Structure 1
Amino acid sequence: MDLEKSREEQAGEGCLVVALRMPVRSVALVLVVPVRMVWDALVVAGRFLNGRVFRPMGRALAWVGRAVFVWPFVALWRWVLVPLGVALRWLGLVLVVVPAGWLYRWVLTPVGHALAWCGRGVFAVTSLLVAGIATALYWTARVLVVWPAAAVWRWVLAPVGRVLAVVAREVGAAFGHAWRVAGYVSLAVGRALAAFFRWTVVEPARWVYRTVLTPVGHAVRDAVLRPVANAARGVGRITRDTLRSVRVTARQVRQDVRRALLGGPGTAGKRDDQAVKGAVVSPGGRDDRIPLAKR
């Protein structure tokens, strides 16, 4: 579409336009590409700052400005100046308005009518003089200024202006075309940088993670961590069983000692008989009566 439009425009334009277009567009493209890239970066940064910094700061400053400047002046106007103005207005009606009305009616009005009549006469004479002088100045300015200026405009400035308009239009079109091309170039550079970053950083990191770190992690898990965890669970199980057995044995020993020392309820006589029967006579004829429970 752009090529067809440019060809149609070239077909209806003169040699000067065609001769100026390509050099101007080439220079504009070289100048505008870095500016467009910087502009895109500034636009992104400006949108971020506007959304995250400037707009909340502006709301806060607006609220502070209203609280510091607007609300005190509104309160001063509403509660001080307005009542004071009302009071002064009524005071000016008991002291100023009535004497001023009398002075206006009986003094100023007759004097004003007289001055107005005199002024109308002076104005008429002055109007005639001014009209004559203005007519003479008009024709003098027309002959000395307007006609030469019109000739200069028609035969000098208008052709030069047309040429400059053509040049300015072509320069503007060249810069617009260069701006659009620079946008495409900036987009291509951005995509190229993104692809370069992807193939130099992201894809190697993904490959290392998938082909190196994942198998190594699985191997470490299967060869080291899982056996260690199983051994730790086995040790913990054995420790718990041992502690449980020790607790059961200690409880049984305490019960046996308590039963051997104190006996159960109603076993005192049986314990004495067992102690007599369990006495041992020493070889030397000495009775070593040692209860069986203590032995």
Structure 2
Amino acid sequence: MEPHKPSPRSAQPEGCLTVAVRVPLRIVVLVLVVPVRMAWDALAVTGRLVRDAVLRPAGRALLRAGEVLCVRPLAALWRHVLVPAGRALSWLGTVLVAVPALWCHRHLLTPAGHALARLARSLLVLPARWLYDRVLVALGHAAARCARGLGRLLALLGTGIGAALYWILRILLALPAAALWRRVLAPAGRVLAVVAREAGDALGHAWRVAGRISRVVGRALGTLFRWIFAEPLRRVYRTVLTPAGHLVRDAVLRPAAEGARLAGRAVREVLAGARETVRQARADVRRMLFGEPGRPAAVDRREPHGPATRTLGSSTTALTKD
């Protein structure tokens, strides 16, 4: 934790009201904040454990399940069904709607529109322009002159009424409000500002002190847990369970394993002897029923001797024959 840096206003002289409010307020706030900070630290540790042990694995599983159950089927539906259907509908819309509508606009609506525009110009635009130039402009100028005169009259009346209202409001509201602010609200605001500032400082100081107290209590509980549970269990494991395990391993498990190996070897030898006995019995029965099997005649596989034999030192080969 970074050391608490004094605020820039601490170098300024403080009044007696500030000093009188600060100490009791800090004591009360510290007493109220310490349980809250300890509960907050406990909740933070519990929340981190729940997040790391439960929420993150559950979130990964839900994300994977959502990907397998929703995203991939929707992507396959979009790629293999909706996109081809959309392309088919687009082609049908182009063939059945857009092309006929374009032809109708080009060959029917455009000529009809041009004809209606020439007719509307002749029947509406030209008479309306003549009426505007000859009648409405003159009426507008006359109405504008009347409106300017009426506006000047209303401006004079508004200026007089505004000045009267200004002085009435100044005398009846502004001056009493200024006196109330200067004599009552400003001093009360200064007192409330001092109390609020000291309450904020006391709350921050109490929160930091409560954090230190919470850490000390946590370390003490950890030390007690280690002394009461962890160290006795470690000593029991090291001094009792480990020698007992070694004794059981040397006195029971290893002889049992060696005996099991010897028994397995003896069983394998007995089974091999039994298989050999069964094989010989089957051979004897076969000889008794069918007699001795005939042996194949011996074949002389040696090369023939004589002048037909070709050797490296002879000159009777086809290449060296005269």
Superposed pair shares fold, TM > 0.5:
yes
Is 1:175 aligned with 2:176? no
Residue 153 of structure 2 aligns with an amino acid whose one-letter code is V
TM superposition shift of 1:210: 2.1
Matches of residues 40-59 of structure 1 in structure 2 within 5 Å? 40-42=41-43, 45=47, 48=51, 52=56
TM superposition shift of 1:42: 4.9
- Describe the SS at the equivalent of 1:12: coil
For 2:126 and 2:217, the matched residues in 1 are separated by 83
For 2:125 and 2:220, the matched residues in 1 are separated by 86
Match of 2:214 in 1: 186
**1:10, 1:18 within 8 Å by CA — same for their partners in 2?**
no
Give the one of 125, 143, 152 matched to 1:115. 143
For 1:180 and 1:254, the matched residues in 2 are separated by 94
The C-alpha deviation readout for 1:237-284, integer Å capped at 9, x for no partner, is 111112222322333344445446624548xxxxxxxxxxxxxxxxxx
Structure 1's 48 and 255: CA in aligned 2 closer, same or farther, altered over 3 A? closer
TM superposition shift of 1:160: 2.0
Q: So what's the TM-score if we normalise by structure 1?
A: 0.64
**1:29, 1:178 within 8 Å by CA — same for their partners in 2?**
yes
For 1:212 and 1:101, the matched residues in 2 are separated by 117
Structure 1's 22 and 117: CA in aligned 2 closer, same or farther, altered over 3 A? same
Match of 2:31 in 1: 30
**1:29, 1:182 within 8 Å by CA — same for their partners in 2?**
yes
Matches of residues 201-212 of structure 1 in structure 2 within 5 Å? 201-212=229-240
For 2:250 and 2:213, the matched residues in 1 are separated by 52
For 2:142 and 2:38, the matched residues in 1 are separated by 78
For 1:144 and 1:160, the matched residues in 2 are separated by 23
Q: Number of paired residues? A: 237
Which region of structure 1 is more displaced relative to structure 2, 197-206 or 16-25?
197-206
For 1:100 and 1:197, the matched residues in 2 are separated by 98
Which region of structure 1 is more displaced relative to structure 2, 202-211 or 37-46?
37-46
TM superposition shift of 1:153: 1.7
Is 1:154 aligned with 2:182? yes
The C-alpha deviation readout for 1:108-150, integer Å capped at 9, x for no partner, is 6555444332222111101101101111221222223222222
For 2:13 and 2:294, the matched residues in 1 are separated by 131
For 1:231 and 1:28, the matched residues in 2 are separated by 75
Q: Which runs of 5+ in 1 are unaligned?
A: 68-78, 80-86, 267-295
The CA RMSD measured in Å over matched residues stands at 4.4
TM superposition shift of 1:4: 9.0
Structure 1's 252 and 183: CA in aligned 2 closer, same or farther, altered over 3 A? same
For 2:235 and 2:125, the matched residues in 1 are separated by 100
Structure 1's 172 and 254: CA in aligned 2 closer, same or farther, altered over 3 A? closer
Q: Structure with the greater relative contact order (CA < 8 A, sep ≥ 6): 1 or 2?
A: 2
Residue 206 of structure 2 aligns with an amino acid whose one-letter code is A
In percent, how many aligned pairs have the same letter? 53
Matches of residues 249-260 of structure 1 in structure 2 within 5 Å? 249-256=277-284, 258-259=286-287
Structure 1's 140 and 101: CA in aligned 2 closer, same or farther, altered over 3 A? farther
The C-alpha deviation readout for 1:46-75, integer Å capped at 9, x for no partner, is 9949x8599x99xx9xx9xxx9xxxxxxxx
Matches of residues 7-156 of structure 1 in structure 2 within 5 Å? 9=10, 12-42=13-43, 45=47, 48=51, 52=56, 106=132, 111-156=139-184
For 2:243 and 2:142, the matched residues in 1 are separated by 116
- Describe the SS at the equivalent of 2:200: helix
Which region of structure 1 is more displaced relative to structure 2, 228-237 or 200-209?
200-209
Match of 2:223 in 1: 195
- Describe the SS at the equivalent of 2:215: helix
Q: So what's the TM-score if we normalise by structure 2?
A: 0.59
Residue 24 of structure 2 aligns with an amino acid whose one-letter code is P
For 1:240 and 1:48, the matched residues in 2 are separated by 56
Q: Which runs of 5+ in 2 are unaligned?
A: 75-89, 91-104, 111-115, 296-322
Match of 1:213 in 2: 241
For 1:173 and 1:149, the matched residues in 2 are separated by 33
